[in-house]
């Protein structure tokens, strides 16, 4: 069996490596630099580890010809949004056009990219048919299986998350189910249609977005009330049916994007989203709220705002993950620039060159920071969560009420910070 995985990011790379144990795998990506890195045995995603890549026999390539003759083509590429928050299907369309020149009779194409219901059958299949001259359902088959991994999560990984699968007919559904059952220990769930599988993904991420938006809204109100949000959450969590969502900046390539796909499709059908769109507006507005909290503290210092020393630890979109896509911390920084406030950054997990190219900022080693007025821990990676008194003192210097640690996600040891003589705030 020969499997081609198109797209070697946080979704495609684990798929390629795990399928390597049961089939011949071609891992394709248009980014030649990324492919070369994998060939060197380096896992830039951090999802499977360098050792797993070094041991596998995956053919990493940027040459489309290497995929010719594959039995299965699994498409795992990003589906971003445009500046106006509408779906940007360009990467998916280009991938489909590319595959249309490669697929043959009896090929099975499986899309994993997050889309709104209808994209696979109404957009992707016609492209595959037009360019290939083949007929879907007769010459080749198509299915959809949404990716569900949580980047940086070492507990819930590809193998132990139930895989939703779907196919254009019963035969295709069973073949796709059999394929994934080879590597998914948690088993598969057979959706009744491709549209159902597509909808399940955007809805599950929209649900998380709504729950986080609720926590962000109460965090804003509690700040005005002078109530500690985490203290409220700890008390609430004692009830058996409490939902353990927390406030924070909602970025990344899933939760901060997928709801817009659902909203777009709903509006095309004449329905204006109320709850989902409101949640998106609240979460997108949290960067400004954090910036306002920062400005409020800096205004209390006996120095001009432009002279305040501010450091952000963790610029990725979430903790314990190297992915910087759609990181909302930079939205906060844009608000601060209006007040001539400058910020320095450090993140041992993020790629310095990618960060420079994407956001125009330089990452520094944490050892470069001294006498900091405000330390903002935005993505609380494990190293930051385990910081000791000496670590804070080395960065912030002499204790005082004019020094503060802003723990955006409430993940740090508050008592350690207070015992150093610094102020502490969380969302």
What is this structure's pTM?
A: 0.91
For the segment 182-198, the average pLDDT, to the nearest whole number, is: 97
Could you give the CA distance from residue 41 to residue 35 in angstroms, rounded to a whole number?
Answer: 10
Average pLDDT, integer, range 193-205: 96
CATH, residue 316: 3.40.50.720
The pLDDT assigned to 48 comes to 87
Q: Please give the pLDDT value at position 399.
A: 93
Same domain assignment for residues 177 and 42: yes
Shared domain check, 179 and 40: yes
Residues 292 and 412 in one domain: yes
- Structural domain of 78: 2-191
pLDDT > 80? residue 394: yes
Q: What is the structure's pLDDT at 373? A: 95
State residue 39's pLDDT score. 95
pLDDT at 46: 82
Is 335 domain-assigned? yes
Percent of the chain exceeding pLDDT 70 equals 100
- Please count the structural domains in the chain: 2
Domain final position from 129, 160, 191: 191
Kindly state whether residues 181 and 293 are assigned to the same domain: no
> Tell me: the pLDDT tens digits for 339-348?
999 999 999 9
pLDDT of residue 157: 85
**pLDDT confidence of 410, banded at 50, 70, 90?**
very high
Q: What's the rounded mean pLDDT across residues 61-90? A: 95
Measured distance CA(227)–CA(134) in Å, rounded: 63
Q: For residue 35, what pLDDT is reported?
A: 95
pLDDT recorded at residue 247: 93
Report residue 13 as tokens: 């790379």
pLDDT band of 47, cuts 50, 70, 90 = confident
The answer to whether residue 277 is domain-embedded is: no
Q: Position of tokens 């911390």?
A: 329
Same domain, yes or no: 29 and 167: yes
The answer to whether position 219 is within a domain reads no
**Do both 164 and 308 map to the same domain?**
no
Residue 302's pLDDT band (cuts 50, 70, 90)? confident
Q: What is the number of residues in the chain?
A: 427
Give the span between the Cα atoms of 122 and 118, in whole angstroms: 6
What is the structure's pLDDT at 271? Answer: 95
Mean pLDDT, all residues of the chain: 94
d(CA 365, CA 343): 14
In a domain, 278, yes or no: no
| Mean pLDDT in residue range 109-129 | 96
pLDDT digits (tens, 9 = 90+) for 347-393: 999 989 989 999 999 999 999 999 999 999 999 999 999 999 999 99
Examine the pLDDT at 152 and tell me if it is beyond 80. Answer: no
| 422 and 299 belong to one structural domain | yes
Tell me what pLDDT residue 58 has.
Answer: 96
- Give the pLDDT score at 89: 96
Per-residue confidence band for 336, with pLDDT thresholds at 50, 70 and 90: very high
Rounded to an integer, the average pLDDT of 114-140 is 95
Residue 212 lies in a domain: no
pLDDT for position 254 = 83
Single out the residue in 164, 191, 218 at which a domain terminates.
191
Answer yes or no: is pLDDT of 156 > 90: no
Residue 364's nearest CA partner among 341, 345, 343, 342 is 345
Q: At 155, is the pLDDT very low, low, confident or very high (cuts 50, 70, 90)?
A: confident
Helix (H, G, I), strand (E, B) or coil at 6: strand
Point out the residues that are catalytic. Answer: 254
Kindly state whether residues 168 and 306 are assigned to the same domain.
no
Query: How far is Cα 320 from Cα 380, in angstroms, rounded to an integer?
Result: 7
Query: How many Å apart are CA 344 and CA 313, to the nearest integer?
Result: 9
Distance in angstroms (rounded) separating the CA atoms of residues 313 and 345: 6
Pick from 133, 163, 191: which residue ends a domain? 191
Q: How confident is the model at residue 287 (pLDDT cuts 50, 70, 90)?
A: very high
In a domain, 136, yes or no: yes
DSSP string, 274-324: SHHHHHHHHHHTHHHHHHHHHHHHHHTSSS-GGG--EEEE--SSSTT----
Strand partners, 26: 4, 59
Q: Is residue 36 part of a domain?
A: yes
Residue among 37, 325, 263, 17 nearest 27 (CA): 17
Q: Is residue 203 part of a domain?
A: no
Q: Is the pLDDT of residue 252 over 90?
A: no
pLDDT confidence of 102, banded at 50, 70, 90?
Answer: very high
């Amino acid at each position: 069996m020969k499997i081609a995985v198109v797209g070697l990011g946080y979704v495609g790379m684990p798929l390629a490596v795990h399928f390597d144990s049961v089939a011949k795998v071609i891992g394709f990506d248009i980014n030649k630099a990324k492919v070369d890195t994998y060939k060197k045995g380096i896992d830039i995603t951090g999802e499977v580890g360098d050792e797993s890549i070094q041991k596998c026999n995956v053919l990493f390539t940027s040459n489309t010809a290497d995929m010719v003759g594959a039995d299965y083509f699994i498409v795992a590429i990003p589906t971003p949004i445009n500046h106006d928050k509408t779906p940007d299907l360009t990467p998916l369309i280009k991938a489909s056009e590319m595959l249309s020149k490669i697929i043959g009779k009896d090929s099975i194409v499986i899309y994993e990219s997050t889309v709104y219901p209808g994209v696979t059958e109404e957009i992707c299949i016609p492209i595959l048919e037009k360019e290939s001259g083949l007929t879907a359902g007769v010459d080749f088959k198509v299915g959809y299986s949404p990716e569900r991994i949580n980047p940086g999560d070492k507990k819930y990984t590809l193998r132990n998350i139930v895989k939703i699968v779907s196919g254009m007919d019963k035969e295709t559904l069973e073949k796709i189910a059999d394929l994934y059952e080879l590597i998914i220990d948690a088993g598969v769930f057979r959706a009744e249609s491709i549209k159902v599988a597509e909808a399940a993904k955007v809805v599950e991420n929209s649900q998380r977005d709504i729950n986080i938006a609720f926590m962000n809204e109460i965090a804003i109100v509690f700040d005005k009330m002078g109530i500690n949000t985490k203290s409220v959450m700890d008390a609430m969590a004692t009830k058996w049916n409490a939902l353990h969502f927390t406030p924070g900046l909602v970025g990344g390539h899933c939760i901060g994007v997928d709801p817009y796909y659902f909203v777009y499709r709903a509006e095309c059908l004449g329905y204006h989203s109320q709850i989902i769109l409101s949640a998106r507006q609240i979460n997108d507005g949290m960067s400004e709220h954090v910036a306002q909290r920062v400005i409020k503290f800096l205004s209390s210092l006996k120095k001009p705002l432009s002279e305040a020393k501010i450091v952000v630890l963790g610029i990725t979109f979430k903790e314990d993950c190297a992915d910087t896509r759609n990181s909302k911390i930079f939205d906060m920084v844009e608000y601060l620039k209006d007040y001539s406030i400058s910020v320095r950054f450090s993140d041992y997990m993020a790629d310095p060159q990618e960060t420079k190219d994407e956001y125009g900022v330089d990452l520094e080693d944490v050892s470069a920071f001294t006498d900091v007025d405000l330390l903002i821990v935005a993505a609380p990676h494990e190293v930051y969560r385990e910081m000791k008194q000496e670590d804070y003192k080395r960065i912030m210097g002499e204790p005082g009420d004019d020094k503060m640690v802003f723990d955006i996600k409430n993940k740090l040891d508050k008592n350690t910070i207070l015992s150093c003589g610094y102020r502490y705030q969380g969302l």
